């Protein structure tokens, strides 16, 4: 067997031993989907996510811009879903399932570095760079080339066997390996994700030779509750429902997730799935830090989290939140206060 094929087989075996559920190899080169990314950025769909539009944007064209000696990209996926997500019920907000446990970056980086060590034991020294989703890579495009799945209409990477509930990580390596084959897209005529999105964030494109839909981040509940700083557009607030951090709707309705496996790792088990709204509204900056430091929820920051809590309270239709909202309106600062006033107005209206 040629050495480059043997290395791919060894990588797959060792990746599984290191706890990964999916793995594949992509050859390094200019990424064909990069011009779609450029069009998406030019259309303004990245919103305030400047890390996607600043000088780092061009780095996504080719992995060799991150590691000049790279020859192969070793892609790995890890399932994170730990239970079904029916919602927390009355009085609860909702957190996206990827953020239920600890910070997944820690698990992914630790296990990718472990994998690099195992590979170097087998192959000898080589140059490498471990990347999680903070690196300027078009992860899903590379993972598709590596055979991990296809990019669905909800813009998630979907694997026929396990669905889309998995994290991605990469190892850029100066080692020649046999590349995997990308699978065909299998969304067919299904548009459940498009129809289910409350804010209609999945929008048709004008691409004749590319993806039929794109995610307009400016309308996406995940963007609104996590990435957006300041005011949430008033016309989108009602559609946010009880979401406090992120959104899983387009994955929840995907048929390919109907039989997805569950993760058993202690780090991913639920700690922050359905926060109590009244308790959340009363969190001080110190209490927020103590509760969510080491969790993805920390990314929203205290002000953003209280802003999201106010919107969820306004969408609840429950007048018991009036006292808490009045407190937020008076003491929460300009951003939180404005959203609390909106919520109070919504509760006093005949909307429900």
**CA–CA separation, 86 and 90 (whole Å):** 12
DSSP 185-231: P--TT--HHHHH-TT--EEE---SSS-SEEE-GGG-HHIIIII--SP
**CA–CA separation, 342 and 344 (whole Å):** 5
Instruction: At 343, list the tokens.
Output: 């919520």
Residues 81, 54 contacting (CB under 8 angstroms): no
**CA–CA separation, 49 and 45 (whole Å):** 9
Query: The tokens 């951003």 sit on which residue?
Result: 335
User: Maximum CA pair distance of the chain?
Assistant: 73
Name the nearest CA neighbour of 300 among 242, 231, 217, 229.
229
Name the nearest CA neighbour of 25 among 77, 86, 97.
77
Query: The tokens 């094929």 sit on which residue?
Result: 5
**CA–CA separation, 46 and 100 (whole Å):** 25
Angle CA(299)–CA(109)–CA(3) in degrees, nearest 5? 145
CB proximity list for 146: less than 8 A, separation 6 or greater:
23, 24, 25, 26, 73, 74, 75, 179, 180, 182
Question: Could you say which of 62, 103, 133, 252 is catalytic?
Answer: 133
Give catalytic status of residue 216 as yes or no: no
**CA–CA separation, 47 and 337 (whole Å):** 23
Residue 173, beta-bridge partner list? 72, 128
Q: Which residues form the catalytic set?
A: 133
């Amino acid at each position: 067997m040629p050495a480059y094929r043997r290395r791919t087989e060894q990588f797959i075996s060792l990746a599984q031993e290191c706890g990964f559920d999916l793995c594949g190899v992509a050859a390094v080169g200019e990424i064909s989907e990069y011009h779609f990314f450029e069009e998406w950025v030019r259309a303004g769909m990245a919103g305030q996510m400047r890390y996607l539009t600043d000088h780092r944007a061009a780095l996504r064209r080719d992995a060799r811009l991150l590691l000049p000696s790279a020859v192969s990209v070793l892609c790995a996926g890890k399932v994170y879903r730990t239970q079904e997500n029916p919602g927390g019920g009355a009085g609860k907000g909702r957190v996206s399932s990827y953020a239920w446990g600890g910070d997944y970056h820690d698990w992914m980086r630790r296990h990718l570095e472990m994998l690099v060590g195992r590979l170097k034991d087998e192959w000898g020294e080589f140059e490498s760079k471990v990347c999680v989703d903070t690196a300027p890579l078009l992860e899903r495009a590379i993972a598709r080339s590596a055979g991990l799945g296809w990019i669905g209409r909800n813009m998630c990477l979907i694997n026929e066997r396990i669905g889309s509930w998995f994290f991605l990580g990469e190892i850029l390596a100066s080692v020649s390996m046999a590349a995997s084959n990308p699978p065909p897209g299998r969304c067919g005529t299904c548009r459940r994700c498009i129809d289910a999105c409350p804010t209609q964030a999945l929008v048709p494109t004008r691409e004749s030779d590319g993806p039929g839909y794109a995610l307009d981040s400016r309308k996406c509940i995940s963007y609104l509750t996590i990435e957006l700083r300041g005011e949430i557009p008033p016309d989108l607030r009602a559609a946010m429902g009880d979401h406090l951090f992120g959104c899983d709707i387009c994955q929840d309705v995907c048929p390919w997730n109907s039989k997805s496996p569950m993760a058993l790792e202690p780090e991913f088990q639920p700690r922050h799935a359905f926060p109590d709204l009244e308790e959340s509204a009363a969190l001080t900056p110190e209490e927020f830090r103590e509760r969510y430091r080491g969790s993805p929820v920390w990314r929203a920051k205290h002000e953003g989290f209280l802003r999201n809590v106010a919107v969820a309270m306004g969408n609840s239709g429950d007048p018991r939140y009036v006292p808490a909202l009045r407190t937020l309106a008076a003491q929460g600062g300009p951003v939180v206060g404005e959203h609390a006033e909106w919520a109070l107005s919504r509760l006093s209206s005949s909307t429900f």
